[in-house]
Amino acid sequence: MEQYEKEEKIGEGTYGVVYRARDKVTNETIALKKIRLEQEDEGVPSTAIREISLLKEMHHGNIVRLHDVIHSEKRIYLVFEYLDLDLKKFMDSCPEFAKNPTLIKSYLYQILRGVAYCHSHRVLHRDLKPQNLLIDRRTNALKLADFGLARAFGIPVRTFTHEVVTLWYRAPEILLGSRQYSTPVDMWSVGCIFAEMVNQKPLFPGDSEIDELFKIFRVLGTPNEQSWPGVSSLPDYKSAFPKWQAQDLATIVPTLDPAGLDLLSKMLRYEPNKRITARQALEHEYFKDLEMHGKESSSPPSDGSRFTSVKVVHSERAGVASRLLGWVSGVSQQQPRGHRKGLVMDRETPLGPSLGPLLHCAIKMLAISARQ
């Protein structure tokens, strides 16, 4: 631990305390996460050490890089690359985001790339939500964070700070008590995030497990053996559940185009084995007009080295929305060189008529950056 100097406590999450810290050797800013265990007096379980160590081998442009794992004084410290912006913070600060389908599409695509890579390595995330999707201001890349940790440490329903772990992105099979689940639980979460990006509000904001279930039922209909074979045998299923009819998703996410609605409906299938996979989703028609360096052909690449920027064909705003964060960073170039290390303005695309709302959003993001 002598290599790292803590600078500031920046969060207290599901499994421990997060610090912004400095690597004394490289002078790099990193995120240092101290894992708290419920039974620290017994030491760190060897299974947890093995599983976390596996995460060091996960190298992909859409996954936050785990640099190191340190076992010290019956605790585990995780050393991650440092990214100070998450999707929730971005959406809260930039309501104009919902008016940029290009940016929504590019972010969804990147989420799916990261999820597909995790699933191909037999890693479930289990806690996908906007707060766990970090944005690299320098490259516009969106990266999954905190994946695998829930399974490694057996995260309880309540965190150590007594904050209720969000239920809004939890798959119905988990809510109904299933003890056997797999990669489809992550795809349900991606669907909820997709709808939230489009609507700028959570799709199923329940305040308890039963309220969460009922919010899902009101939209998708109360499941039965016809719509979800086997559902009645799940531990927490009740035949007395209120019977709601399914609504048309087009009325729930009214600004989403038909291809997007089709993809969303496939992500929100009740029957887990009928839910679309991340790899299948990457090939969906919704992304047909997405031109991306490193775009998937049949399987995700093993790293993110070929990911650069996103463009939409035949759009006069091509590249502008998807480069919003790069543009925000570019504003700061008026400052002395090196004052904001690594911030480079992308001058490839001229600023078009959509500049107004993006400028407004950019100013907000700079204000957030200045306060941090």
Residue 294 pLDDT grade (very low, low, confident, very high; cuts 50, 70, 90): low
pLDDT digits (tens, 9 = 90+) for 144-199: 988 666 666 665 554 443 344 589 999 999 999 998 888 999 999 999 999 999 99
Query: Homologous superfamily of 85-292 in CATH?
Result: Transferase(Phosphotransferase) domain 1 (1.10.510.10)
Identical fold for domains 4-81 and 85-292, yes or no, is no
Mean of pLDDT over the chain: 78
Q: Give the pair of three-digit tokens for residue 319.
A: 């590249």
Q: Please identify which of the residues 86, 127, 136, 186 carries the catalytic annotation.
A: 127
The pLDDT of 315-338, averaged and rounded, is: 37
Rounded Cα–Cα distance for residues 265 and 281 (Å): 11
Q: Could you tell me the CA-to-CA distances from 222 to 161, 172, 274 in Å, in that order?
A: 34, 11, 17
Enclosing H/E stretch for 144: strand 142-144
Residue 23 binned pLDDT confidence (cut-offs 50, 70, 90): very high
Of the two residues 352 and 268, the one the predictor is more confident about is 268
Q: Which residue has tokens 């597909």?
A: 116
33 is in an annotated binding site: yes
Exposed e or buried b per residue across 40-61, where buried means at least 16 C-beta atoms within 10 angstroms of its C-beta: eeeebeeebeebbeebeebebb
Query: Which of 78-87, 142-151, 267-276 holds the top average pLDDT?
Result: 267-276
pLDDT over threshold 90, residue 204: yes
Architecture of domain 4-81: 2-Layer Sandwich (3.30)
At 250 the pLDDT is: 98
Q: What digits encode the pLDDT tens for the residues 212-255?
A: 999 999 999 999 999 999 999 999 999 999 999 999 999 999 99
257 is catalytic: no
Per the structure block, which two tokens stand in for 69?
A: 């794992």
Domain boundaries, the chain: 4-81, 85-292
The Cα 84–Cα 86 span in angstroms is 7
The reported pLDDT for the residue numbered 47 is 55
Contact 248, 254 (CB under 8 A): no
Burial per residue of 246-275, b for 16 or more beta-carbon CB atoms within 10 angstroms, e otherwise: eeebeebbeebeeebbebbebbbbbebeeb
Q: Which of 258, 276, 261, 175 is nearest to 216 (CA)?
A: 175
Q: Which long-range contacts (CB under 8 A, 24 or more apart) does 247-253 make?
A: 247/218, 247/219, 247/220, 247/221, 249/219, 252/195, 252/199, 252/203, 252/219, 253/195, 253/198, 253/199
More confident residue, 143 or 368: 143
pLDDT of residue 296: 59
Residues in the chain: 372
Identify the weakest region by mean pLDDT among 82-91, 94-103, 312-321, 363-372: 312-321
Question: Rounded mean pLDDT of 10-23?
Answer: 83
pLDDT for the residue 337: 34
Question: Hey, what amino acid is at 70?
Answer: I
What's residue 168's pLDDT? Answer: 97
Confidence of residue 361 (pLDDT cuts 50, 70, 90): low
Interior CA angle at 310 toward 296 and 128, to 5°? Answer: 65
